[in-house]
Amino acid sequence: MSNTNSQLVRMDRRTALKAAGAGFVALGFASAAHATPEAAAEALAKLSGGAAAATSDKITISLPEIAENGATVPVGITVDSPMTAASFVKQIHVFAEGNPSPETITFNLTPTGTADVNTRIRLSKTQNVLVAAVMNDGSVLTNKKEVKVTIGGCGG
Amino acid sequence: MANKPRVKLPKSAKAGEIVQIKTLASHDMETGNRKDKKGNKIPRLILNKFSCSFKGEELFGAIMHPSVSANPYIAFSITAKESGTYDFTWTDDNGEVTKVSQDMSVS
């Protein structure tokens, strides 16, 4: 009787382990397939050295409210800066929260022209697009905008 | 790269004028996430770096990730200072560099 009992327990544990294993695999897959807002926030925190970056309306993001095709979403970023040797935007980072990897594009700027860049990005689903501007003094400004995506653009 | 990237830069500008530069490279920007009909992963191959330089000094650059659209379009602006040749380069994952040069005269 005790033998059967222990067998039962063993079976139970095995099943439980299997289930746990399957759960782990499923989780792992999910995180590999899609980044999370946390991953994007983490990447942002790295830029500012862990300090919380200030949300600023100095950054203007022009994105369509609804993107019919996620494969090419036009994005324009303007940062209000004099762009002189004393005060300029050093880098502009673009993160897509819901893409397989949040990093999208990084612009390296020098004190010339205006801090105004345009490009086209892929968005896999409806999500927030985060923009972080690193100034020459090391301060980081951020802003974000939500885009509704009808057809995702990351393939697979 | 199959076709030469296109660069739109004015032929002439006044000194101190802010000039917009538009670039369009033709590239699939394969993300590495897609699968072919047999279910095999298509390896990643993208242009990962763009650079615009004048007399050896980088004025503007970009680091691209797979989330940049196919045929990457990048537009930015510079201040016209002196006449000369602007060099634009794109680097892909294999290290292959495509270069386009264009002159602008500044008066």
Residue range A41-64: mean pLDDT, rounded: 80
Q: Which of A87-91, B1-5, B32-36 is most confident?
A: A87-91
**% of chain B with per-residue pLDDT over 70:** 98
Q: Which residue of chain A comes nearest to B77, CA vs CA?
A: A113
pLDDT reading at B72 higher than 70: yes
Tell whether the model's pLDDT for residue B105 goes beyond 80. Answer: yes
Summary mean pLDDT of chain A: 79
| pLDDT(A27) > 60 | no
Q: Could you tell me if B68 and B101 are in contact, meaning their C-beta atoms sit under 8 angstroms apart? A: no
Q: Find the mean pLDDT for residues A11-26.
A: 48
pLDDT of residue A32: 42
Q: What is the mean pLDDT of residues A1-10?
A: 50
Cα torsion angle, A123, A128, A129, A130, sign: negative
**Candidate from A108, A122, A155 with C-beta closest to B62:** A108
What number is the ipTM of this complex? Answer: 0.91
Low-confidence winner among A1-10, A130-139, B36-45, B46-55 (lowest mean pLDDT): A1-10
CA dihedral A39, A43, A46, A47 (to 10 degrees): -160
Across the interface, do B67 and A121 touch by the CB < 8 Å criterion? yes
Lowest mean pLDDT among A10-24, A105-119, B37-51: A10-24
Contact criterion met (CB < 8 Å) for A116 and B76: yes
Distance of alpha carbon B37 from alpha carbon A25, whole angstroms: 25
Do B105 and B14 meet the contact criterion of CB atoms below 8 Å apart?
no
pTM of the model: 0.80
Cα B68 from Cα B90, distance rounded (Å): 14
DSSP state of B42: P
Report the alpha-carbon distance of residue B63 to residue B51 in Å, rounded.
9
Please answer whether residues B27 and B1 qualify as being in contact, where contact means their C-beta atoms are separated by less than 8 angstroms.
yes
Q: Which domains does chain B have, with CATH numbers?
A: 6-106 (2.60.40.10)
CA dihedral B89, B93, B94, B97 (to 10 degrees): 0
